[in-house]
Structure formats: C-alpha cells, structure tokens
Amino acid sequence: MENEGNTPAYMQLANWRFALRLAEHRHNVELKEKLLAGIKQGNMAPYYKEVCTDLGWEFDQKLYDKMAALNVEQLAKLEAEHENSVVEEEDQVSGVWQAKLDYLCSIGDREAATNLANSKLEDKTVPKSHRIDAVFTLFRIAFFHGCDIKAMGSAIEKATELIEGISGGDWSARNKLKAYEGVWSLAIRDFSRAAHLFVDVVPTFESYELADFGTIIRYTVLACMIALPRYELRKKLMNHGVMAQALHSQYQDLREYFVSLYEGRYADFLLCLARVETEMKQDPLLHPHYRHYVQEMRLRAYKQILQAYRSLSLDYMAESFGVTSEFIEREVARFAAAGRLLCKIDSVAGTVVTSSHLSDETLWGKEAPEASLDRGLLYQTTVKRGDILLNRLKKLARVMDF
C-alpha cells in the first residue's frame, strides 16, 4: 500500500456524472461544480459536450472552443513526435501512439480513442504486449463511458485470447486481467467469480489505471460478503495479509460491515448495510444490483440468526435487528413464502418456527449450516415439484383411459 500507484483523476468524473443522473442528486450544485471543475482542469472538450447532452446542461460554446483548441494543439505535438520518431525503435514508436491514446482517453474522446485502440489491436505487426495494453484501454473506455457491459465483455474476451496465447505466460498481464475480469464479473452480477478474482489480485494489485486501491478493497469486501460461506469470510478478509492490513488500518467502515455480521451484531450490520446501499446506488458499476444485493444480505443475516434455533421470538429478532416486530414478520414471511427460508411463523405465539435440520448438524454430517440449509431447500423443492408432476400425470392418465 505504501507504493500505491496513481489513478487518473478523470476516472472519478464518471461517478460524479452518474450521481447527477439520480433524482436525489440531480440538483446538487456542489457535485455539478466538482464535475465541471474536473472537465475544465483536463480540458475535456469531447467529454464536456457529451455531459451537457446527457445531463441537460446549458452548453457553453466559448468554453468548448477554448478546450477544443488546446486538445488540437496537444494532439499536434503528439503527431509531430510520431513523425520525428525513429521507425527502427519500436518501443519509441509504440510509446508515441500509446501517449496519444492515453490523451484521447483523458479528454473523454470515446470515438477517437476506440478507433485508435482497435487499429492497434488488429495490427498484427504491433507486439502482443502492446496489443494487450490496447485491449485493456478498450475496457477502460467502456467502463468510463457509462459502464458499457457489452463492450467490456468483448474486451475481456479479446484480452483472455491474447494473454492465453502468450507462450510462457506474462505474469503482469495475467494479474491485470484478474482485476479487469473482477470488475466485469461485478457488472454481470457474478459475485462468486468476482470474489475469488479480487482475493487473488489484492496482494499484487497494480491496475491503478483502472481503479484506485480503495475501490478494489471495497469491491472485494462486497463480493466476498455475498458470495463466500461464513467459515471462509474470516480467512479471506481478516486473515489475508494485505487485505487484513487494509481493513484494520484504512477501511474501518468495511471492516465493521464484515465484523458486525460475523459477530451477530445485527442492528449494527443493518446500519452498515444501509451505508453500503447508498454507496452502491451511486456507483455506476453496482447501481443495477444494489436492490438485489441488499435483499440477499438481509436474507443472509436472517439465515444466520435462525440457524441456532428451532424457534425464535419475533420480538427477540426485532430487538436484535433494531427494527419493529411487524417489519421482521413481513420480511421473514416473504422469504419463507418464496422458499428462501425454511421456517414458519406462528402469529399467535409470536414466534418463528424453523425446520429441524437448520440446527441439526447430525443430519448433514460436518457440513456448514449454510450448506445444509441450501440442500434442504433443494430437497423440499424437488419433492414439491415431484408431487405436482405426479398429480399431472394422474390427470393425464384419467383422460387417456376415458
């Protein structure tokens, strides 16, 4: 963490732009000023035009012309360097077009940057390592401009194909691919894949051009919390070298989010989950999944508290979660009706009655409670569907006999 690299300042603008599209931030003057200041600082003429169209801002032609003129001037300098470069020196030539590509990305010129990156990717004379850099740039372009899932997925496929084709392997490229694929996995709601990729990449993370270290730590915790069983969480998060150090020293809020659930402090956990929900809602990558994520994490907490009991008072559950008994009753009833919780509510006694195998480990040997719960749900669903199928077959037989 001491040698943490620098993430380009313009990458943060995408989050501010997305937040301004949300109803609660649409008229946030401070956020608008921060976004506009970032655009001016980077002379991002193409991006300014895109943002004005997207957010309905009044277009300042003088500001645009000023920034556009500076863009043309800088690109002309880069072109001159390319013309004056010695063709035999491949690294120098590659450095010039990569500098131009980085500049086009920094001013938000999506079309020009995409065209240049694609031209280098498809040019077989360009060294494979530089073609890999080009395809990673295509991913960042899609990520920055509205989290284009289709384009991000295409970039991952091309990067995987190029990297797997390298004889002997390229450790740095493979390591970067894990970070990029982890972000992609979050975009398509594959939390399990994302969790394992991020846990592997955190100790050797070097893709600062994509995201800062704090963002990767946050993505790792969020993915692990929903994807990994409880007995793995402590090992992966709290006893995992760099990850543990980061959570203890810099990211106390993420540590509390994990520890509050692990220790069964459910009221504190719900407060942390509310903060996580707010952050996810403002993140363009995670926004499409925040409702699903919050629901699944609440369900995980309910499963955890019910595992140790055959019956549990609704009032006790409500007190544990810091909510009303009516809220708990609605929540548990909804999950139970959907087959997500193996329990029944006794409204007269005011208790939640769990199925016996929620706490009976002898039924499933030494398996974790989560495994027995999931297997129990699968068993019940199979039996239920089997009964439905048999009833339909009997009806069909009667009709055929008739």
CB 342 within 8 A of CB 373: yes
Residue 358 has pLDDT above 50, yes or no: no
d(Cα 336, Cα 330) in Å, to the nearest integer? Answer: 10
Query: What is residue 86's predicted lDDT score, i.e. its pLDDT?
Result: 52
DSSP string, 180-249: HHHHHHHHTT-HHHHHHHHHHHGGG---TTT--HHHHHHHHHHHHHHHS-HHHHIIIIISSTHHHHHHHH
**CATH fold of 307-401, please?**
Arc Repressor Mutant, subunit A (1.10.10)
Q: What is the pLDDT of residues 376-391, one digit of tens each?
A: 556 666 766 777 788 7
The model's confidence at residue 318, banded by pLDDT at 50, 70 and 90, is very high
The whole-angstrom distance between residue 198's C-alpha and the CA centroid of its chain comes to 10
- Given this model, what pLDDT does residue 294 score? 97
Residue 402 pLDDT more than 50? no
pLDDT per residue as tens digits for the range 276-301: 999 999 999 999 999 999 999 999 99
Helices and strands of the chain, counted as H and E runs: 19, 3
pLDDT at 380: 62
Q: What's the pLDDT tens digit per position in 176-226?
A: 999 999 999 999 999 999 999 999 999 989 999 999 999 999 999 999 999
Q: What pLDDT shows up at residue 277?
A: 96
Query: In the predicted model, what is the mean pLDDT of residues 124-147?
Result: 93
User: Which range has the worst mean pLDDT, 77-81, 238-242, 356-360?
Assistant: 356-360
Residue 167's pLDDT is 55
pLDDT tier for residue 363 given thresholds of 50, 70 and 90 = very low
Among residues of the chain, what percentage have pLDDT more than 70?
A: 86
- Listed in sequence order, the residues at least 6 apart from 131 whose beta carbon sits closer than 8 Å to its beta carbon are 120, 121, 123, 162
Q: Is 88 helix (H, G, I), strand (E, B) or coil?
A: coil
Tell me what pLDDT residue 94 has. 64
Mean pLDDT of the chain: 86
Quick one: pLDDT band at residue 310, thresholds 50, 70, 90? confident
Q: Where are the domains of the chain?
A: 1-148, 307-401
Average pLDDT over residues 55-73: 95
Look up residue 106 and give its amino acid: S
- Give 90 or 128, the one with higher predicted confidence: 128
Give pLDDT, residue 377: 57
- Our measurement of the distance from residue 300's CA atom to the centroid of its chain's CA atoms, rounded to an integer in Å, reads 19
Q: What is the pLDDT of residues 256-280, one digit of tens each?
A: 999 999 999 999 999 999 999 999 9
150-190 pLDDT, tens digit per residue, is 999 999 999 999 988 765 557 888 999 999 999 999 999 99
357 pLDDT band, cuts 50/70/90, is very low
pLDDT value at 140 more than 60: yes
User: In the predicted model, what is the mean pLDDT of residues 368-380?
Assistant: 54
Q: Give the pLDDT of residue 151.
A: 95
pLDDT (tens digit per residue) in 98-135: 899 999 999 999 999 999 999 999 988 888 889 999 99
- If phi > 0 it is left, if psi is from -120 to 50 it is alpha, else beta; for residue 283 that is beta
Alpha carbon distances (Å) from 391 to 257, 381, 383, 396, 401: 47, 16, 12, 9, 15
* Closest of 83, 8, 18 to residue 44, by C-alpha: 8
